[in-house]
Every structure is written in C-alpha cells, then in structure tokens.
Structure 1
Amino acid sequence: MLQQVPNAPPYDKNPTGGPQFRNWMELLCAFNHQLSQGPVWLYDTPGQQGLIGFPFNALLNWSMSTPAGLLAFHRSVVNAHLRDILTAYGNFLSSPASAAVLNSSATGWLSPTALDALVSTAWLPTNTTSSSDSEPRTNTRTPQPRPQFHDLFISNPHHPTHGFASWDAFFTRRFRPGIRPIASPSDDGVIVNACESTPIALERRVKLHDEFWVKRQPYSLVTILGSLNKDSDRDEDEKNGGRKKEEEEQLKQAMRFEGGTIYQGFLGALSYHRWHAPVSGVVEKVTKIHGTYFAGCPGLSSSRRGGLHDGDMEERKHDPSAPDRSQRYICQVGTRALVYIRARDRRLGTVVFVAVGMAEVSSCEVTVREGDMVEKGEEIGLFHYGGSTHCLIFEPGVRLKFTEAAEEVDVKRRGHNLPVNGYLAEVVSG
C-alpha cells in the first residue's frame, strides 16, 4: 500500500509536510520513534491543521485509499496489531514524559498561537439561551470580552504546564463550572448535545441493513449496533458456542431502532472531548466494540476511470486529513463504545449514544455502568488521544425537532461546533 501511493506532489510528502515512507521498515521505525514523542503543535498549513495531534494518521494518510490500504486496514489481524501499538502510545501520552510538548515554544501546545486557537474553538462570543419549546435565542446583551484559556478550562496559568500532568490530561481537560450550562435542565423532552462537535449528518427512517460501504455512506443499524468482537470476559470457546445467540441478540437490538433517526457530529482535535448524557434516564446497556482504526470507505476510492492514479487521487487531494470524509462509514466499522439510555421521558424511549474512535483514538472510555441513573448533561465518558466522531440513535416513532444547524447540515456541509450540553433537539408530541 505504501508503494501504491504516487510519487508526484502532493503525495511525495505526508499531509503535514513530513516524509512519505515507501517501505514497511521505514514506517515501523517512524512508528517506534513516535511512541515516545508527544504530538507537537503544527498548524501552519491545511494538512497540519487537519491532522493536528494525529502523527500516526499523518504517516498513514495517503495509503488509506490505495487498493492495498483498503484491504489492510479492514483486516482484523492488522487492527489487532494497531491496537497494541496505539495502546502503547496511549500509555506514553498518559505519562509525565508526554507533558514535554506542553510548553510555550512555537511547537508547544501552550504557545500564544496554540492557546488562541484553542480559545477560538471553545469560545461562544454570543450569549444564547434555550427553552423546551424553541431554538436557542440570541441574547441582546453586550457580548462578553474574549476570555483566556484558563477562563474557559480548569488550569493554572502560573504552572509551566498549566497544571496538566500529561498530554492526555491536557487533551481531556474540563470546562470550568458554568461555561457549558445545560439547556432546559428541568425539561426531559429537550435533548442536549452530547459532545462539543460539528453536525455532519441527520438521517431519518434509517434502515436495518444497507450497503454502507458505497460512496453515499448510508447507515446500517445492524452493523453500527452489533459486533461479535466486543469486549468480554468469556474465553474463546464460550464465545464460539454462544455465537448464534449473540447474533440473535444483535439483530433484536438493531430492530428496535429500524426506521428511527440518527444524528452524527464530528469532534476536531482542538475540541473538548468528554461525553455528556443527552437525556436523563437509566443506563440500559454498555457495549464496547473492537473495530478498525485507519479504515476509510471503499466507495470513496472508486472512480469512473477506475484507478487510484486517476480520479481517486484527484479526490484525495481534497481530503488531506483522511478518514474525515468516511465518518458515516467509520461509525459502522470503527472501534466504538455504545451507551443505551432508557429516557425518563417515555416519549423518547431508549436513546443510544455511539462514541467512535478515529485513527489515534484507541480508547473510548465509558464512565457509567449498566443500571446507573444519569441526569441530562452528566458526564458519561471521554475520548483519549485524538479527535473523533459520535452518533445519537433514536427509536422509530419519536418525533424530533432539531436545531437549525443539524437540520440543514446537508446544505451547510461544515459549520461551527455546537456546545456540549447545549440545545440539540426536542421531542414533539402528537
């Protein structure tokens, strides 16, 4: 797959401007080097901005849509080895040594340029309010002055690393209390945004099965919600013996949501990466699924001229931060965690939150357990080590009115982050 990447620009370098490796030995040496290096701040070019905080993704980017790459990154044995590599990388990023990149130099995450970008991503300059029966409304009060990083996030500006003990501690930073208020906290019919994210898809009447690998990337519920490779304490023999029963349970779970609604949002590397409950209710089920890490949608690699060296790579020029264009597909094949919440408002039924790990995100950590009662806006988990994507799945028959940014996502394509805990949708009676 490395040899199938063209030598001509821009593929002679990786999207961040670094070397494009042509053989496995060079690539593995680069992997080995990166395992003991935190991601530096590189934000000067579109490629660097698209892959900020994703050094492994940058090394593999162009190879993802080669014919060999499409096969390799979908193989379970390859993903098992990648999981081991990314787990080791995650261990380093959770160690004090990784805090070396938390400095104020030009390539440090605490440089004035980096802090300004982080504030720009998180700051909501216009005060808004929301209610259970309307879209968020602009408040006519004078906007507040632009805050500093420590005004938004729990941190210590007088400490050399702002008080963060590791890269991961910085990446999973928390907002200060009150920065992200919960929309309509007393109205269980209002759904809040589970992640600080940009809307990328809203689809109603979702099918149980669909050809999700095609370029259009429709959703296939039985694939999103089920896998025989999920975490378990059972040994291999028991897994094999219970395969049929598990398949039946997988189908049964998916059928509950056939004809329902899916909303999907994208989290960039500069965003806040903790998850919050979209509704109040009881945690019905928690499932973790081992899937792919660097796989893209095969449908995006095909063209009328039929080859990577023709129309394919012309398309890839516009996606130097792969697999961003495959996000709908990735939520069906990627490593992910599912949290089923039986809503307190019975009109909502059960809502599923799907956290999907893209590329370096080798850990989707769920912090609630089955049987827990959660309140809307309460933290339920977090992503480690990189940006990602997430979905909310609603049962059929649940009538929902979404915020305008979500309803018009296919028209606007890419907008700004919607605030976590902010108004996302509300259930409509009748």
Structure 2
Amino acid sequence: MKEIMNILRVVSESRQAEISPEDNHKVEQIVKWQKETLTQAELAFSGSYEPAVQALSDYLSCTPSSDSTARRFATQMLTEVPEPYRAFETLSQWLVAINYVIQRAPEFEKETFPMSKLFVFYMFVPSGNKLFVMNEFNARLTQVLQAWQTYLDSEESKVVLNPEGTIPAPTGWLSQSAQEQLCLSQAKNYADRTQTYWGFTSYNDFFHRELDLDTYRPLPANDSNKIVVSANDGTVYRIARDVQYCNQFWLKGQPYSLFDMLGGNAISKEHDVPTPSYLIEPFVGGDVMQSFLSGADYHRWHAPISGKVVRKQTIEGFTFSELRSEGFDASAGTESQGYQAMVNTRGIVFIEDEFGRGLVAVIPIGITEISSVEITVDEGQYVKKGQELGYFSYGGSTLALVFQRGMVASFMAEPASDDAQFPACKSAENCPAEKGCLRVRSAIAKLHDPQKC
C-alpha cells in the first residue's frame, strides 16, 4: 500500500511527510469501494449510457465531438494509478460506474459521496489533474452532475429516506440511527415524522431540510447592529486579513485573490458582464472568513448582517479540482478549499450594510459531488440579519464571508484545530465559535461604529 501512497502523494511542507495509518486505511477503503461499485455497475448496465454520460463518452472517444488532448489525459490518468490498486482499466469501465452512480441516491451508512470516490485518485495524478481543469471537460462533467441532480430532485429519489416504507423507518435517512447522527429532531419536518417520508418530496428536499431556527438557531441574545452572525453551520477553515486584489492563489498557502473570488473576469447566470471593479475594490485590504460544511450540517445559508442586496450572481466554475501541491487528499478536495473559492462553482450575494459601513459578500461554494447553489433573494431586496439567502443541494460545500476593508473590529470566531470534532446537535454550549464551531445566526464578529468605517 505504500506504493500507491508514494505515487499519489506529493510530499510538501504543507502536509506531513510520513504516510499516516489513517491515509493508508482510507486508500484501502477507496480501492475496495471502487472495485465493488464497478462490479455492481456492470451487472446493472443496460448497454446504453444516460444522455449526459453518452455526451461525455463521445467527448473522450474518437468521434466528431471529441477532444484528442482530453482523450489522452483521460487514458493516461487510468494508467498513472498503480496496477494492483487500479479499479478501472478502461475509460468505458469508468463511465459505466459514473452512469450507475447518477441513477441512484446516496444511501444511509453507505458511501455518502460516491462521485468523489470515483474521482479521488484521478483528480490528483498528473494527467487527471490537468483533465479536470479543462473547460470543455468540466462543462461535459457538469452536464452529468446536473442529470444526477435532476434525479435527486425527483420523487423517486426519496425511497432511500425510508426504504421499507414503514413507520417508524427501520433503515434509511429517517431511521433512529440517522436521527441521532444528523440531529433530525431540530428539523422542521420532525413534526411530520408520523408520515412515511416526513413530508420530504425528494432526497434533495431532505438534504437541504429546514431547521426550527427560532428554537435551535436563535439570533444572539445581546444582538446589536455591531454583531455579525454566521451565515451557515460548519467549521471555520480560515480567517485572512488584509486580503489582496490579485494574488497567485494556486501557490502554497492558497492566498485569496479578490478579483478571481468575486468574479472580476466571470460571466454569471444573472449577469452577462463580470463583476464591476467598483464592487471589488472596496474589499481590498478587507477580511475573509471561510468555513467548511460537512454532509451532516444544515445546508441553508443566511444573511450575516441587515442591508440591501445590491448584486447577486451564480458563477459556473470547476466541479472537481484540487491543488497537487497540497498532497494526496483522500477527501477529494477539502484540502484545497482556499483555492476552490476562486475557481469552483459559486454564488455571490453582495449586501450593503444598512448603517453605511460598507459591503459584505456571501459566497457559497461547491467543492464535491453536485453542490448546486440556489440563491433565493433578489437584487434590490432588503434582508434582515439571519434571513435565509439560499441553499446548497446535495454535495460538499464551503462558504466564505468577505468584508469591506475597515468594517471588522474583531472576530469572535477562530479557525478550528485539525483534530476538532463537534456534535451534530449544535448548541451554544457545545459549539463555541472561538473553537471554530459555527451555528448559523450565532455571533462571529464585531463591526466598527459606522462613522469609523
């Protein structure tokens, strides 16, 4: 097993030089899962791909719509994984497995992020690392992920919530075990648990379930216009101050680059021109707080301050991309969250503080699986602190708050330690911001008085 780890890992100052037993175990489990999934996929394969997978296959084959460079990278990436641990010998096998995954919803206590498991080695090996950042390949892969999202939005997908269809659910995402692991007692739908599916209409409807916010995520008791609240549940990944307009975000340390992060050269779903400079320049010298959302976290995001939405945009970026300089990442990208804030699919909601302090940008970012970003507020709309702004559909995600320079007096929240673990049932007592734990609508920072900004 050291052979695969030595090939898949780049030893850098930012990661440990020795192979940990934990990483060894993760790789063993990934290889085992890939081989089992291929066996199941081949048994289930009807002989034809789903349309989006067929389009990806055509792009990677000798067809009029193909790309020779992409085909070369895709073919080479398979061989760059050492043979004893190579689950996929051909591109067709890899595509059959992808085709299998997008016709199913994740099952409880099985692999929660299957697409990441299919891609984790290939995102890292040299040829695959290049393939996943080719724009046309990413566009074809995005179509595959959108097809998967369509299924996860369908009523058919809710069967994994309660496979037996009995009340209470003995297995699935609504079982007693899942209720405890995911703290489902805090969900609004908990009141409907006498129904077979608790009123959920699909797997995604369950994934971005609403919470009883007034009971479990109240605004701070000492709230004032100086208090910034967390936009999301999660764990603090990084806090950066004096952030620069343009930076080499692909280097060690993944420094933030506001021009790239805020869409200075990107067309969005809502606007056919990039973010204007007058919306980017006020953030130069400002602050960024980025956090990670686990699969068990609440996946809706809320306004950190009260004010007016002056611009919203959804930027389609990469879906699976990571920095090789960070070393092999068994989680398929979470070690590259800073970099992903500049290049991955993301939303941006610019809010102008109602007291004239300046702008705050809320940036939800998809990092694995589908992680589509749905913004539910409109430009020109006034939002109150703690009000919902939107949600993530199924997938891994991270969220960044960017503050105009001079706004933040101090942060109450601090980055979490590498070994930090927090309970699913978050409360003020067991989820302290100063330890890196975030509860949506809890206090995370203090702002200067308006006249000082």
Q: TM-score range with shorter-chain normalisation?
A: 0.7 to 0.9
Alignment of 1:54-65 (within 5 A): 54-65=113-124
SS at 1:381's partner residue? Answer: strand
What residue in structure 1 maps to residue 127 of structure 2?
A: 68
Alignment of 1:117-156 (within 5 A): 117-119=181-183, 149-155=184-190, 156=192
Segment of structure 1 superposing worse, 84-93 or 110-119: 110-119
| d(CA) in 1 for partners of 2:31, 2:405 | 42
| d(CA) in 1 for partners of 2:269, 2:236 | 33
Q: 186, 198, 208: which one pairs with 1:172?
A: 208
SS at 1:387's partner residue? Answer: strand
SS at 1:256's partner residue? Answer: helix
Query: Which of structures 1 and 2 has the larger relative contact order (alpha carbons within 8 angstroms, sep 6+)?
Result: 1
Contact 1:86 1:362 in 2 (8 A): no
Alignment of 1:47-126 (within 5 A): 52=112, 54-103=113-162, 108-119=172-183
Q: 1:426 is aligned with what amino acid?
A: K
**Do the aligned partners of residues 346 and 211 (structure 1) sit closer, same or farther apart at CA in structure 2, a change above 3 Å counting?**
same
Q: CA deviation at 1:203?
A: 0.5
What residue in structure 1 maps to residue 392 of structure 2?
A: 383
| d(CA) in 2 for partners of 1:220, 1:292 | 17
The answer to which structure has the higher helix fraction is: 2
The yes-or-no answer on 1:344 pairing with 2:344 is no
What residue in structure 2 maps to residue 33 of structure 1?
A: 100
Contact 1:212 1:329 in 2 (8 A): yes
Q: 200, 203, 209: which one pairs with 2:246?
A: 209
Please give the per-residue CA displacement for 1:230-285, whole angstroms capped at 9, x wherever unaligned. Answer: 33578xxxx6xxxxxx56x5444322211100000111111110111110000010
| d(CA) in 2 for partners of 1:344, 1:162 | 39
Structure 2's unaligned 5+ residue stretches are 9-23, 36-86, 165-169, 423-436
What residue in structure 2 maps to residue 24 of structure 1?
A: 91
The yes-or-no answer on 1:260 pairing with 2:286 is yes
Please give the per-residue CA displacement for 1:94-133, whole angstroms capped at 9, x wherever unaligned. Answer: 11110111126786212332221101xxxxxxxxxxxxxx
**Do the aligned partners of residues 69 and 391 (structure 1) sit closer, same or farther apart at CA in structure 2, a change above 3 Å counting?**
same
SS at 1:38's partner residue? Answer: coil
| d(CA) in 2 for partners of 1:233, 1:339 | 12
The yes-or-no answer on 1:399 pairing with 2:438 is no
Q: CA deviation at 1:396?
A: 1.1
Please give the per-residue CA displacement for 1:186-242, whole angstroms capped at 9, x wherever unaligned. Answer: 6222111001111010000011111111131111111101154433578xxxx6xxx
SS at 2:438's partner residue? Answer: coil
Q: CA deviation at 1:33?
A: 1.2
What residue in structure 2 maps to residue 42 of structure 1?
A: 109
SS at 1:345's partner residue? Answer: coil
**Do the aligned partners of residues 332 and 22 (structure 1) sit closer, same or farther apart at CA in structure 2, a change above 3 Å counting?**
farther
Segment of structure 1 superposing worse, 358-367 or 271-280: 358-367
What is the TM-score with the length of structure 2 in the denominator? 0.73
Number of residue pairs the alignment of both structures matches = 359
| d(CA) in 1 for partners of 2:26, 2:106 | 22
Alignment of 1:400-419 (within 5 A): 400-403=409-412, 406-407=413-414, 409=415, 414-416=420-422, 417-419=437-439
Q: 142, 150, 159: which one pairs with 2:195?
A: 159
